[in-house]
Structures are given as C-alpha cells and as structure tokens.
Amino acid sequence: MKQFLLVCLCVFILCGCEKKSETTEPLTGAYAASYMVNFNYKYPVPSEGYTLEYNNGKVSKRTGGYRCILAISCQNDNDIFDDRQVFYDVAYKGNTVKITTRSPEGWSWLKQEWLFQMHHSNQIEYLIYKAENRVMYDSLAYTYNTSGKISQIWSYGVYRDDTQVEAVVQTVKDFTFNGAENLEKVETRVLLSDGFVISLIVEEFGNYDTAVNPLQHLFMFEDTYYRTLSKNNFRKYSIHYIDAITGANTGLSGREWTLYYNQSGMPQFDKL
C-alpha cells in the first residue's frame, strides 16, 4: 500500500497540479554559502557562493561560483573560477516548483532535476530528485504538525523498471522546535532496506539572534533549507554521528557564525 501511494504521489507531482500557491515576498540580492549548513560547512573559507535572480517576486535562477575545491588546490583562496559556474533554473507551474541545473558551454556538468510539490508557500509536500547518470531517483515525503511546523521527512530510494516501481525507505528525519519557533534539533535515522536502524545523525542549532530570518522563502535549495524553518537566525551548528548498533560516537563537528546586520537589523548573508 505504501508503494502504491508513493507511485500516486510521483505521478501527481510529475503531472503538475494547477492549484494556486500562496506567495510572499522573498529575500532579494546575493548570499554566501559560508552561512548555510552544507557539506562544506567545516571549511573556514567558503568553497562556493551564490547569487539569486527574481521574476515577479519569485526566485527564477541561482548562479553558483566555485572556488579552490573544484581546482583540487586551495593555495589561493581568492581564485574564483567563473567558468565553473552552475546555473539553477527555477520554474513554477501551479503549486509545483521545478529546478534544473545547467553549466556554461564548454564545461560539462551533471544534469540534475528537483520537482517540489508544494502544500503551502513554504511547505513542501513532496520532492523528487533525479540525476542523468542514475537509473533510480530519490523521493522525500514531508509531514507537518498542527502548528504548521515540519515534523518529519521520509527519504525513499525509488527503483523503476519496465514492470514495477519499488520504493525503499532510506532515512527518517525528526524535527524539534523551541518555544520561539526556531529549529532546535534534527535527528536522522539511517535505515537498511528491511527497516533496521544502523546509525543516527543528530544536528543541533543554537545561538539564535532576534532578527527576522530573510531566508524563509528559499525552501527549494538544500543548503538553505534548515535556515528557512525558523523565525530567527541560528549562529551555531553541530552534527553528531552515532552507531545505532553499538551506541558508539563515530564523529562530532560543528561551526559558529558571526552574522552582520544592516541598519534595519536584517542579517546580510552576502557578507563574508
């Protein structure tokens, strides 16, 4: 039954529902990946930065510039390789949001595609992720509590052939918020195909400011997603890995940020 429902949801999002979404004014301008939580959070110098473009108040494109990480050498952190940019084109149809990556001519980049089924303007109901070199795709199902906050994300690996579609649960994320409507903790259970939990990942967020979070409408990008969930802006992040079988700690790391604010008290995420 779960697989049947998953297939129905996949068809629903791929067809593109025409239901009208709520819209609100998003952040404008540029922002830097050093203030996000992403795979490069441990580096003192950001390996990438992004600029947003808008059309009728909605994000229409994100352009990313990559630094020394893609050059294999980090001898000169000021080097920015403009020819290694990646463009994220954002398209809207009803309450479906589609993101497709592309690169400039002359430099090949793996094509990826994200399809978001929206429940409300900042609430994702379902997500399908595809990449051109994979025979499978990933799907995420989102659930919310009675106050509208995200409560869980179920991640599926979906395998499709000519006769059937098989969906396997890979991870389950549980979200905890504090009384100030800010994200406090995300616990991820990593599962085997039979549902056995093999590891736990605990991410914690803290040192929130009292300023308005200007990134609340950038739900569609992975590196900003955690920041979009809170009323204010976290300045401390840690990630803790636990072996679920032995209970042993297998890794702990984190990062703290210094945020800069403009005269209106709004954090400026394009300041390094």
Rounded Cα gap, residues 207 and 258, in angstroms? 10
Let me know: does 121 contact 217? Beta carbons within 8 Å.
Answer: yes
16's tokens:
């593109």
Quote the pLDDT of residue 22.
40
Quote the pLDDT of residue 269.
82
Burial of 1 (0-12, 13-18, 19+ CB in 10 A): exposed
Please name the residue that has the structure tokens 């401390």: 236
Quote the pLDDT of residue 214.
87
Cα Rg, the chain, nearest whole Å: 19
Q: What is the pTM of this model?
A: 0.80
Best CA proximity match to 123, nearest among 92, 97, 105: 97
Best CA proximity match to 205, nearest among 179, 233, 231, 228: 233
Best CA proximity match to 33, nearest among 11, 16, 51, 60: 51
Rounded Cα gap, residues 182 and 32, in angstroms? 21
The 3-state secondary structure of the chain, one letter per residue: CHHHHHHHHHHHHHHCCCCCCCCCCCCCCEEEHHHCCCCCCCCCCCCEEEEEEEECCEEEEEEEEECHHHHCCCCCCCCCEEEEEEEEEEEEECCEEEEEEECCCCCCCCCEEEEEEEEECCEEEEEEEEECCCCEEEEEEEEECCCCCEEEEEEEEEEECCCCEEEEEEEEEEEEECCCCCEEEEEEEEECCCCCEEEEEEEEEECCCCCCCCCCCCCCCHHHHHHHCCCCCCCEEEEEEEECCCCCEEEEEEEECCCCECCCCCECCCCC
Which residues fall within 8 angstroms of residue 162, CB to CB, at 6 or more apart? none
Quote the pLDDT of residue 36.
79
Quote the pLDDT of residue 216.
81
Quote the pLDDT of residue 99.
95
Rounded Cα gap, residues 117 and 247, in angstroms? 37
Quote the pLDDT of residue 29.
62
Residue 88, number of CB atoms within 10 A of its CB: 20
Quote the pLDDT of residue 110.
73
Instruction: Tell how far CA 172 is from the center of its chain.
Output: 15
Quote the pLDDT of residue 140.
94
Strand-pair partners of 40: none
Quote the pLDDT of residue 14.
45
Burial of 106 (0-12, 13-18, 19+ CB in 10 A): exposed
pLDDT, averaged per 10 consecutive residues of the chain (272 residues), comes to: 47 43 51 68 56 86 64 44 70 94 69 90 89 84 93 90 81 95 95 88 96 88 90 94 89 88 86 62
